[in-house]
Amino acid sequence: MSGTVLGFDYGTKKIGIAVGQTITGTANPLTTLRYVKDRPDWDGIEKIIQQWQPTDLVVGLPIDTDESETEISRRARRFSRQLEGRFQLPVHMADERYTSASARSMAGKVKKIEELDALAAKLILETWLNE
């Protein structure tokens, strides 16, 4: 597999998005999309997918430190199934434990709080790319 990959930091109010390259194993934060009428901004996601033409999508899977799943884990899995169904692209789940904390520790580089979610998506994606 080689090419462009999009990463998603799923949340119940907003979703951070990053873009990465399989060849370099690196990613960059793109944007954070807020929900529209209590649903993911599917139009915004579609525009990003059309712009970047990814080969694969990666969704962060929030798992508790004891490896158990939570309500947000189930919602992230549902979001990944919706992505796959809507855009007909392979979707991978990536353990996102500690990425939000890492993103917060890097927050000095962040100008707006929304950028934190895109930064978390970058970390999720880079972890997956380098596994």
**Cβ–Cβ under 8 Å, residues 127 and 100:** no
| Sign of the torsion formed by the C-alpha atoms of 48, 71, 60 and 90 | negative
Q: What is the pLDDT of residue 1?
A: 58
Q: Give Cβ neighbours of residue 61 (< 8 Å, ≥ 6 apart).
A: 73, 76, 77, 93, 94, 95, 96
**Cβ–Cβ under 8 Å, residues 13 and 35:** yes
Rounded to an integer, what distance in angstroms lies between the CA atom of residue 10 and that of residue 77? 10
Rounded to an integer, what distance in angstroms lies between the CA atom of residue 49 and that of residue 53? 5
Structural domains for the chain: 4-129 (3.30.420.140)
Distance of CA 62 to the CA centre of its chain: 11
Rounded to an integer, what distance in angstroms lies between the CA atom of residue 127 and that of residue 125? 5
Q: What is the pLDDT of residue 24?
A: 92
Q: What is the pLDDT of residue 131?
A: 83
Q: What is the pLDDT of residue 23?
A: 92
Q: What is the pLDDT of residue 33?
A: 97
pLDDT by residue, tens only, the chain of 131 residues? 569 999 999 999 999 999 999 999 999 999 999 999 999 999 999 999 999 999 999 999 988 777 788 889 999 999 999 999 999 999 999 988 766 556 556 556 555 666 788 988 999 999 999 88
